[in-house]
């Protein structure tokens, strides 16, 4: 009986419903897996490489070129699953769907426990149900077959462990073993998606500097420095010029700014307790620190340029950086002063604080970053030895795309909205919550009329929402501050912001909607906090509390039913005959090429996995070798591929005329068939002209 009483019935019900929906989907017709569920080409890059690894061919998509264009943790999960592909190509997809469902359910349960412990039961049910059954989250995180499920789980797990750490360090000493364990959880998140390295690094600051104001201020300062320096360059140029010419130098200047500004800010008192000195004195010290830093950063970068080690840089951007950073830092210190508890003021000078704590900070930093950095170093060294480059070639290629004036693929950030991650499309990092803003903005047409005022209406709603949220948080500052600390709000906010800028400020082309995992989790937790603050007065009334819990359960049931309806529709049983080709394009290629033929495609992930007795070579380079990336840059890709046995190309010739191909294939191609807007072409040994 005691065991039964200890069972969390909502968790059990949540797991049963999530697994039940997905097990039904896993038993659907073969045809719907590549056409209705695992639809993204990118997922099959994992599937085919995992199959090849499991069959002893090594880390390769085509069996010819070695590749590292993937996130490692998801590949490790895929390898044993796709060992089943030797028996049946759809069987691994069925198994993977169920594995993803288990990860999905585990993430929802962790989210439920986290919110229940630090907010309320009703809000925890809402958060878990929203994450489990919202269709945008489901379609973006769990249906694609990409690394997103394990990345989402790893982020929530890390936040959950940070929450436990937050309670633990206040009650007693923290051992180096515990710090190393936290670093291991951060590394799991990092290897789930490598761009989560920023969250992993920021989490270390939150851990090591516990008990001081530094842990709150420094993560956000790093984000503000990144915003200020890169935005200053953009204000002196434009987005096209920035992406083509200045992105690299802006990032270099930002790195120098980190190294220079943070120590100066520290020793001039910018990281003391916000109530340790009058606010005007704190702002004066921040202004002095930023002025000194501006001079040093500008001098260092100009010297680097003169020595031929740096790139061209608009020098007036340093003055703009001073003005922007002064505004942002002043706002952050005023907010910190408002939230800070005057009873915990720490009046000691920065030098005294440093002398008292530097050994502890150093030893604990070594314990945390030694594990995190060591694992990252091993990964990079392995890549350098095995693949000739220390980082995934896919990311390098996409940044190369972004530096081009025009390209056949998605452009990098080209507006301030996309720069800050609030634009529609691939840089809309507020999804699925932005759907609400778009919906509400339509109701502002009578107030802000005009078909050309769509953005104005949207940003008015967004600004109003942020303002209301800030008012709620400021009114309930003590509860909000505690919840933010317990839910990992500071590292999650800073890590997510830096993560966005790592794409938008670095001329990254080809960003996708599934990149924004930490942002989805951050916004889900933020919405949970705001709901808790709104509903808090009712939580004190017993019957109202029961009504809120009942309402949350009703929402969970409605949301689950909606997801079930969508899954039931797209994953039918018995609608398609078993002998129907998995994809029509695969049947076309098998009919028009010879067994054993090596076929080049731009993309080609799903075809590469599903086609029989042929080999697909990826021509855009995302799942190809570093050597191929270099020859593609040099204009020698046709010769390189022909030498490796490729005889046929299936692509749109107009796409091959654009960057990044620059028409280098045109002299070597001879068309002999067409299908679905693409041509099937011979790849000639010698150019025609």
Task: Report the pLDDT averaged over residues 632-657.
Answer: 95
Query: Number of H helices and number of E strands within the chain?
Result: 30, 5
Q: How many CA atoms lie within 13 A of 649 on its CB side?
A: 25
Tell me whether residue 345 is exposed, middle or buried, using C-beta atoms within 10 angstroms of its C-beta: 0 to 12, 13 to 18, 19 or more: middle
pLDDT surpassing 80 at residue 283: yes
Please check the confidence at residue 7 and state whether its pLDDT lies above 60: no
The answer to whether 574 touches 29, Cβ cutoff 8 Å, is: yes
- pLDDT tens per residue across span 213-251: 999 999 999 999 999 999 999 999 999 999 999 999 999
Tokens matching residue 535? 């509903």
Q: Give the angle subtended at the CA of 30 by the CAs of 130 and 89, to the nearest 5°.
A: 105
* Average pLDDT of the chain to the nearest whole number: 93
Evaluate if residue 530 carries a pLDDT over 50. yes
Which of 313 and 515 is assigned the larger pLDDT?
515
The strands making up 615-618's β-sheet, listed across from edge to edge, are 615-618, 598-601, 648-651, 678-683, 669-675
Confidence of residue 274 (pLDDT cuts 50, 70, 90): confident
**pLDDT tops 60 at residue 653:** yes
pLDDT at 115 > cutoff 90: yes
Per-residue pLDDT band at 344 (split at 50, 70, 90): low
Residues 529-547 have a mean pLDDT of: 89
pLDDT of residue 469: 92
Domain boundaries, the chain: 1-30+68-172+542-572, 175-210+355-391, 213-345, 393-539, 584-683
Is the predicted pLDDT of residue 441 greater than 90, yes or no?
no
| Between 158 and 280, the higher pLDDT residue | 158
**What per-residue confidence (pLDDT) applies to 154?**
98
Average the pLDDT over 44-49 and give the result. Answer: 98
Q: Is pLDDT of 51 > 50?
A: yes
pLDDT above 60: residue 1: no
Q: Is the pLDDT score of 298 beyond 60?
A: yes
Torsional sign, CA 44, 48, 49, 54: positive
| pLDDT computed for residue 6 by the predictor | 46
Band of pLDDT at residue 203, cut at 50, 70 and 90: very high
Over range 453-478, report the average pLDDT. Answer: 89
Average pLDDT value for residue range 417-442: 89
Query: Are 301 and 310 in contact, with CB atoms under 8 Å apart?
Result: yes
- Band of the pLDDT at 4, cuts 50, 70, 90? very low
The answer to whether residue 3 scores a pLDDT higher than 70 is no
Residue 426 has pLDDT above 90, yes or no: no
Q: What mean pLDDT comes out for the span 414-424?
A: 92
Average pLDDT value for residue range 673-683: 94
CA dihedral sign, ordered 343, 348, 350, 353 = negative
User: How much of the chain, in percent, has pLDDT values that exceed 70?
Assistant: 98
Residues 6+ apart with CB under 8 A from 17: 132, 560
Picking from 401, 662, 438, the residue whose alpha carbon sits closest to that of residue 512 is 401
Q: Is the pLDDT of residue 410 over 90?
A: no
Task: Give the residues across from 599 on adjacent strands.
Answer: 616, 648
Q: Is the pLDDT of residue 2 over 60?
A: no
Give percent of the chain with pLDDT exceeding 90: 81
Position 594 scores a pLDDT of: 95
Q: Which range among 4-8, 100-104, 200-204, 296-300 shows the weakest confidence by mean pLDDT?
A: 4-8
pTM for the predicted model, two decimal places: 0.95
**What residues form DSSP beta bridges with 683?**
669
Neighbours of 451 (CB within 10 A): 6
Euclidean distance between CA atoms 435 and 526, whole angstroms = 16
Average pLDDT over residues 515-522: 97
Question: What b/e sequence results for 255-271 when a residue is b if at least 16 CB atoms lie within 10 Å of its CB, and e otherwise?
Answer: ebbbebbbebbbebbbb
Among 357-366, 399-408, 494-503, where is mean pLDDT lowest? 399-408
Query: Residue 372 pLDDT more than 90?
Result: yes
């Amino acid at each position: 009986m005691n065991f039964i009483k200890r069972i969390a019935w909502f968790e059990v019900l949540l797991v049963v419903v999530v697994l039940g929906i997905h097990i039904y989907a896993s038993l659907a017709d073969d045809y719907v897996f590549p056409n209705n569920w695992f639809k993204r080409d990118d997922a099959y890059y994992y599937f085919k490489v995992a199959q090849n690894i499991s069959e002893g061919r090594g880390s390769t998509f085509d069996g010819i070129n070695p590749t590292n264009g993937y996130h490692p943790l998801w590949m490790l999960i895929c390898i044993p699953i796709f060992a089943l592909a030797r028996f049946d190509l759809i069987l691994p997809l069925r198994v993977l769907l169920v594995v993803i469902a288990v990860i999905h359910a585990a993430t929802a349960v962790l989210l439920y426990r986290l919110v229940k412990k630090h907010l309320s039961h009703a809000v925890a049910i809402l958060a878990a149900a929203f994450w489990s059954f919202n269709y945008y989250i489901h379609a973006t995180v769990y249906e694609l077959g990409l690394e997103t499920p394990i990345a989402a789980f790893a982020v929530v797990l890390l936040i959950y462990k940070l929450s436990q750490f937050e309670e633990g360090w206040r009650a007693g000493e923290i051992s180096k073993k515990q710090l190393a364990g936290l670093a291991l959880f951060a590394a799991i998140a990092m290897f789930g998606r490598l761009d989560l390295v920023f969250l992993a690094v920021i989490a270390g600051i939150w851990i090591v500097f516990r008990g001081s104001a530094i842990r709150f201020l420094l993560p956000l300062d790093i984000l503000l420095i990144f915003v200020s320096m890169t935005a200053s360059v953009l204000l002196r140029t434009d987005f096209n010029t920035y992406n083509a010419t200045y992105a690299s130098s802006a990032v270099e200047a930002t790195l120098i700014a980190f190294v220079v500004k943070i120590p100066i800010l520290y020793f001039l008192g910018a990281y003391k307790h916000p109530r340790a000195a009058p606010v005007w004195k704190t702002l004066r010290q921040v202004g002095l620190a930023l002025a000194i830093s501006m001079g040093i950063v500008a001098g260092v970068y100009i010297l680097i340029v003169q020595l031929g080690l740096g790139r061209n840089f608009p020098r007036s951007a340093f003055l703009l950086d001073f003005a922007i950073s002064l505004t942002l830092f002043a706002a952050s210190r005023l907010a910190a002063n408002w939230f800070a508890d005057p009873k915990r003021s720490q009046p000691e000078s920065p030098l005294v604080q440093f002398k008292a704590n530097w050994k502890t900070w150093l030893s604990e930093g070594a314990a945390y970053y030694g594990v995190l950095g060591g694992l990252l170093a091993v990964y990079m060294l392995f890549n350098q030895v095995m693949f000739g480059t220390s980082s995934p070639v896919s990311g390098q290629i996409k940044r190369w795309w972004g530096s081009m004036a025009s390209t056949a693929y998605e452009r990098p950030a080209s507006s301030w909205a996309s720069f800050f991650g609030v634009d529609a499309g691939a840089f809309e990092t507020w999804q699925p919550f932005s759907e609400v803003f778009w919906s509400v903005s339509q109701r502002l047409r009578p107030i802000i009329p005009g078909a050309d005022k769509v953005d104005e209406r949207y940003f008015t709603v967004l600004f109003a929402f942020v303002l209301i949220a800030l008012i709620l948080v400021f009114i309930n500052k003590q509860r909000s501050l505690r919840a933010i600390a317990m839910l990992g709000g500071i590292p999650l906010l800073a890590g997510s912001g830096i993560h966005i800028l790592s794409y938008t400020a670095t001329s990254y082309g080809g960003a996708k909607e599934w990149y924004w995992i930490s942002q989805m989790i951050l916004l889900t937790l933020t919405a949970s906090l705001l709901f808790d603050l709104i509903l808090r007065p009712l939580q004190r009334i017993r019957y109202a509390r029961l009504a809120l819990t009942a309402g949350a359960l009703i929402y969970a049931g409605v949301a689950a039913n909606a997801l079930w309806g969508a899954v039931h529709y797209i994953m039918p049983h018995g609608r398609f005959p078993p002998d129907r080709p998995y994809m029509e394009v695969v049947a076309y290629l098998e009919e028009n090429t010879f067994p054993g033929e090596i076929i080049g495609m731009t993309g080609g992930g799903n075809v590469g996995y599903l086609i029989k007795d042929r080999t697909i070579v990826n021509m855009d380079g995302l799942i190809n070798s570093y050597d191929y990336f270099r020859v593609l840059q040099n204009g020698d890709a046709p010769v390189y591929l022909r030498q490796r046995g490729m005889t046929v190309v299936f692509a749109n010739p107009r796409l091959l005329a654009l960057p990044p191909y620059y028409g280098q294939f045109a002299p070597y191609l001879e068309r002999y068939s067409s299908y679905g807007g693409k041509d099937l072409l011979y790849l000639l040994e010698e150019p025609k002209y």
